[in-house]
Amino acid sequence: MRILFATSNHHKVMEANEVGKNFGVEFSQLMERYPEIRDEDVSRVAEAGAKFVFEKIQKPVVVEDTGLFIEALNGFPGSYSAFVFKKIGNQGILQLLKEKENRNARFISAVGYCDSDGVRIFQGLVEGSIAREAKGGAGFGYDPIFIPEGQSETFAQDPEMKNGISHRRRAFEKFCRWVIGRK
Amino acid sequence: MRILFATSNHHKVMEANEVGKNFGVEFSQLMERYPEIRDEDVSRVAEAGAKFVFEKIQKPVVVEDTGLFIEALNGFPGSYSAFVFKKIGNQGILQLLKEKENRNARFISAVGYCDSDGVRIFQGLVEGSIAREAKGGAGFGYDPIFIPEGQSETFAQDPEMKNGISHRRRAFEKFCRWVIGRK
């Protein structure tokens, strides 16, 4: 089964396909932009995006929105993670946490799927902490500073570990299970 | 002349009325929420907001969006200033700039006005710098850390100075001049 995935980030498509291949689902990148609403909940961002793209192309489509929520920063950067990363990067986040003992953080991914029946949301979450310095060259975005619970390395140091447990994997697994089950 | 001003921030309404009284224009606060689009240009945020509220209430309305653009942070927090302030506050901005020599920043305000003829945008700008520490108890938001060019105190230390030269004053002056001229 082939599903369109509206995103400009090919890393996300690769990660989705790592999951999809176990379910016989193939994601094809669609370079279709959509307005991201300002909402602190990634699920509502994904929901609005999926609806927007479906209404435009009239074909079933998924979009995905991810946020990194850091406890000591009141959930910053949250659903604004992409903008914040572009402006201040991992060094900015490390600087904000310099004197903080509480390094707790979570990644939340929301996959929104829309077709003529409406929109559905599938969420994945991974708990972890922010490293003292950026480490590793794999992945993208905040991967070099995020250490998932129970691990000693960042997502960017161990991409296989990331692919096995990530927020995005968990969200896409829920979606794939649902989409193949309803055929 | 009475004009509706859609905002949840009464400080902004007071500042607009400080300007309006010189032109015979009175702004009334309208507690009407609108979706803020994710755009790095405050003008486009104000434009979309004004259109949205006008289409809903079918009465002429203004909205205003402000951004603080810090040079050493690639324009962060920019049009996401309100969200960033809520999460990391002035202490977060000072922390990000701790080792930075370049303190240059500008405030940009965009007033969007929409009626049945469409939407118009009025921009005001003030250049300045980010203080080494937060000072002053007046104003709101980033006022305690912003020192306008040619001044030695922050907007929050000298509200009269702020009201005389601020980005918001400049934008509302342009708007008032236009709206009373077209009668």
Which pLDDT tens digit goes with each residue over B26-41? Answer: 999 999 888 777 788 9
The range of the structural domain enclosing residue B115 comes to 2-181
* pLDDT, mean over chain A: 95
pLDDT score of A106:
97
Q: A86, B77: Cβ pair inside 8 Å?
A: no
What CATH number has the domain bearing residue B22? 3.90.950.10
β-strand B104-115 against B77-78: which pairing, if any?
A: unpaired
Mutate to test the interface with A, among B39, B40, B68, B83 (most CBs of A within 10 A): B83
Q: What is the pLDDT of residues B64-107, one digit of tens each?
A: 999 999 999 999 999 999 999 999 999 999 999 998 999 999 99
Q: How many angstroms separate the CA atoms of A181 and A178, rounded? A: 5
Length of chain A: 183
Distance from CA of A92 to the nearest CA of B (A): 6
Q: Determine which helix (DSSP H) or strand (DSSP E) holds A67, and give its type and residue range.
A: strand A61-70
pLDDT band at A151 (very low <50, low <70, confident <90, very high): very high
Residues of chain A contacting residue B36, judged by C-beta atoms under 8 Å apart? 37-38
CA distance A72 to A91: 16
> Which residue is it, tokens 């990530």?
A166
Domain count, chain B: 1
Q: Note the pLDDT tens digit of each residue in B125-141.
A: 999 999 999 999 998 99
Between strands A61-70 and A77-78, the pairing is antiparallel
Q: With a cut of 70, say whether residue B183 has pLDDT above it.
A: no
SS3 category, A26:
strand
B 138-167 near A (Cβ less than 8 A): none
Residue among B65, B115, B117, B143 flagged as catalytic: B65
Out of A37, A38, A87, closest to residue B76 by CB = A87
Residue by residue, DSSP assigns A42-111 as: HHHHHHHHHHHHHHHH-S-EEEEEEEEEEGGGTT-EETTHHHHHHHHHHHHHHHHTTT-S--EEEEEEEE
| A window 95-114, beta carbon within 8 A of B | 95-96, 98
pTM of the model: 0.87
Looking at CA atoms only, how far is residue A170 from chain B in angstroms? 27
Question: Is B65 annotated in the active site?
Answer: yes
Determine whether the interchain pair A80/B76 forms a contact, defined as Cβ–Cβ distance below 8 Å: no
pLDDT for residue B34: 85
